[in-house]
């Protein structure tokens, strides 16, 4: 079975319940969250007020997670991959309801319902001039985004990094019957390389071979726990008629 290697050199995650790395590590270890006075808000001081008003809470979470991994004192990513299983589907549902009611459609809502909308706002707000890809691949979405990052790094061969940003919300009614999961991770950003220091991983992709179970939980939740838990060295993600197998490697690459 052919496998591929990449390195997670840095990460950031956001949810209304937890923001700091310490909180996420406690969550990964199964510790109960400390009740907060109010849900966390994704503050985006580098995004203009006009653009912030256009973002949904999920969009703000995605840009917040990405922003924690960008600064003037570190190299800019060679590319950015935005990935979401459902994207801004709540906006689409609202547009369809308006259409059914013969109500006028909002051009702004339509422009922000497309799958690359959050990536476009990120490019404007952060002056990004490198390539941006938007991916949706059902239950394979996060793994497919990391494969896309690996492919871009392999093609360029320059030793840089790709920024991967995964974000999702539970499906709104009446679509919630198709996927009733409630992910704890609203947004997860990772700087990915094939040569930098960090957490080295290997992964392989195989056909299902038999019927796949739904898996232990939402994809981003499972993947972040895998990254953070010292006692978990591998992860199998049940995709759409395929399996992704992820393994932690030693720092020496053995």
Indicate if the pLDDT at residue 177 is higher than 80.
no
Indicate if the pLDDT at residue 34 is higher than 70.
no
Residue 95 has which token pair?
């547009």
Q: Cβ atoms within 10 A of the Cβ of 14, count? A: 26
SS3 label, residue 237: strand
Residue 13: strand pairing partners: 188
CA distances from 188 to 21, 74, 178, 224, 251 (A): 12, 19, 23, 8, 23
pTM to 2 decimals? Answer: 0.90
Q: Cβ atoms within 10 A of the Cβ of 49, count? A: 7
Least confident of 74-78, 81-85, 202-206, 210-214: 210-214
Pairing verdict, β 187-193 and 4-14: antiparallel
* Confidence band for 33, pLDDT divided at 50, 70 and 90: low
Least confident of 8-22, 35-49, 135-149: 35-49
Least confident of 43-57, 171-185, 187-201, 230-244: 171-185
Distance, C-alpha 14 to centroid of its chain: 10
Helical H runs in the chain?
21-28, 49-54, 57-67, 89-100, 107-113, 117-125, 141-156, 219-228
Counting beta carbons within 10 angstroms of the beta carbon of residue 202, is it exposed (0 to 12), middle (13 to 18) or buried (19 or more)?
A: middle
Rounded-to-integer distance, Cα 168 and Cα 85, Å: 7
Rounded-to-integer distance, Cα 9 and Cα 195, Å: 9
| pLDDT of amino acid 180 | 60
| pLDDT of amino acid 254 | 36
Given a contact cutoff of 8 angstroms between Cβ atoms, the answer to whether 77 and 163 are in contact is: yes
Indicate if the pLDDT at residue 253 is higher than 60.
no
Indicate if the pLDDT at residue 32 is higher than 80.
no
Q: Rounded to the nearest 5°, which phi and psi values hold at 33?
A: -75, 145
Rounded-to-integer distance, Cα 65 and Cα 9, Å: 15
* Confidence band for 216, pLDDT divided at 50, 70 and 90: low
Average pLDDT, the chain: 88
User: What is the C-alpha end-to-end distance of the chain, expressed in Å?
Assistant: 17
The DSSP code sequence of 89-155 is HHHHHHHHHHHHTTPPPPHHHHHHHSTTHHHHHHHHHTT--S-EEEE--GGGHHHHHHHHHHHHHHH
| pLDDT of amino acid 183 | 79
pLDDT tens for 128-168 read 999 999 999 988 999 999 999 999 999 987 689 999 999 99
């Amino acid at each position: 079975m052919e496998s591929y290697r990449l390195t997670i050199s840095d990460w950031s995650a956001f949810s209304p319940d937890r923001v700091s790395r310490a909180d996420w590590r406690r969550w990964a270890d199964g510790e109960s969250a400390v009740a907060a006075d109010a849900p966390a808000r994704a503050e985006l001081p580098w995004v203009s007020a006009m653009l912030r008003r256009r973002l949904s809470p999920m969009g703000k979470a995605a840009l917040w997670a990405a922003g924690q991994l960008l600064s003037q004192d570190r190299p800019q990513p060679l590319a950015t991959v935005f990935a979401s299983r459902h994207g801004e589907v709540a906006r689409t549902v609202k547009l369809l309801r308006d259409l059914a009611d013969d109500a006028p459609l909002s051009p702004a809502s339509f422009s922000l319902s497309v799958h690359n909308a959050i990536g476009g706002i990120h490019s404007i707000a952060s002056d990004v001039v490198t390539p941006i890809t938007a991916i949706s691949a059902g239950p394979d979405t996060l793994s497919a985004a990391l494969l896309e990052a690996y492919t871009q790094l392999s093609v360029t061969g320059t030793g840089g990094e790709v920024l991967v940003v995964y974000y999702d919300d539970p499906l709104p009614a009446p679509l919630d019957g198709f996927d009733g999961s409630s992910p704890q991770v609203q947004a997860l950003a990772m700087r990915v390389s094939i040569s930098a220091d960090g957490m080295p991983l290997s992964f392989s992709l195989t056909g299902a071979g038999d019927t796949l179970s739904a898996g232990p939980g939402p994809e981003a939740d499972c993947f972040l726990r895998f990254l953070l838990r010292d006692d978990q060295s591998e992860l199998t993600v049940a995709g759409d008629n395929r399996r992704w197998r992820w393994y932690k490697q030693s720092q020496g690459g053995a």
